[in-house]
Amino acid sequence: MKRGIALLLALFASLFFSCKRESSAEEEEVKKVIEQSLYTGKDFDRATDEGETIPHLFNPVGLLTNETIPWVRFRRKIDSLERSIRVRIPAYPGYPETTALATVTSRLSGRFFVNNRRDSPVIYIRPILDSGYSQIYLTRGNRGWRIRKITPKILTTISSPSLLSIVKIRAEASPSGKVFEITNPDTFLSKNELPTFSPNDTVRVEVTVHSDTDSGWVFLHRGPRGIRVREPFYKRSTYIFERTWIIGSEPAQTPVVRHAAIDFILWPTLFGDSTASYNAKAWALPYIIKKEEENYPEED
């Protein structure tokens, strides 16, 4: 009798550890897909980490009456990026084992260099400590795990004394007529729901933000890795900013996936003295440039 119980326990233990090993292998495969993806790789976390020191300005037609950013030169330098991926299979209770939900968190530390007086060589250095968060929904088929939907990457300053929020992002492209709008950072977007533009598009971008303590300024980060561009918006009112984005200014062999971010930086961070701290909020998303007849970029 005792021997039978022992054999039964050994069988259960063998099955348990076998399932655990299989589950662990599946989770590692999901992580590998995420790390290697055009849409969710490490460029996603560095969407606001640019080497450019001078904000690029362009006076778009129709926006000349809006307020332009005061003189300022700044740069972020990210010294450390820690990234963690937690995988749950199945994605939700009751879902099949061929679904997975990955939660990607990151922690970025570095320095924010800013010179906010044209007549002064003084550069203020503010420590950066940000956290990042996004989710990814995947399914498994004959070709293995594939990404089906993603949420924006949300970057937030840790222990910020001020509450910054991005309320709405809206992009209208011409002549393609494509429109993209998002108000909830927890929204899952499939590939064909991501911002998608034609090579000859001019995109009008409007961003609504809010802060409980002070105003700030909004910037657009875009372009391929290595030649990232940071462009300040034009202020239409205290919390509404807009600008145009000329897709043709980015050399691209289409179709191509790139990463953009809307970056809301608090006023004292940009224009304060040595006592000011760093405080920012950003939403980052992949965007696609393709001709109308082209398919969306596929993963290998």
Q: What is the pLDDT of residues 12-23, one digit of tens each?
A: 545 444 444 456
pLDDT digits (tens, 9 = 90+) for 171-209: 999 999 999 999 999 999 999 999 999 999 999 999 999
User: 244-253 burial, b for 16+ CB within 10 Å, e for fewer?
Assistant: bbebeebeee
Instruction: Identify the three-state secondary structure at position 122.
Output: coil
Q: Contact 31/85 with Cβ under 8 angstroms?
A: yes
Each residue's pLDDT, cut to its tens digit, for the chain (300 residues) gives 555 555 555 555 454 444 444 568 899 999 999 999 989 976 655 556 555 444 544 444 444 557 899 999 999 999 999 999 999 999 999 999 999 999 999 999 999 999 999 999 999 999 999 999 999 999 999 989 999 999 999 999 999 888 999 999 999 999 999 999 999 999 999 999 999 999 999 999 999 999 998 889 999 999 887 778 899 999 999 999 999 999 988 767 899 999 999 999 999 999 999 999 999 999 999 999 999 999 998 765
Task: Enumerate the β-bridge partners of residue 232.
Answer: 219
- CA 178 from centroid of its chain's CA atoms: 21
Domain ranges of the chain: 2-289
Q: What is the residue type of 118?
A: R
Q: What are phi and psi of 15, to 5 degrees?
A: -65, -40
Alpha carbon distance 98, 141 (integer Å): 7
Alpha carbon distance 245, 260 (integer Å): 11
Strand ranges (E), 24-160: 73-88, 99-115, 124-141, 144-150, 153-157
User: Cα–Cα distances in Å, from 20 out to 10, 23, 58, 141?
Assistant: 15, 5, 56, 21
Q: Contact 118/46 with Cβ under 8 angstroms?
A: no
**CA geometry: angle 209, 211, 213, nearest 5 deg:** 160
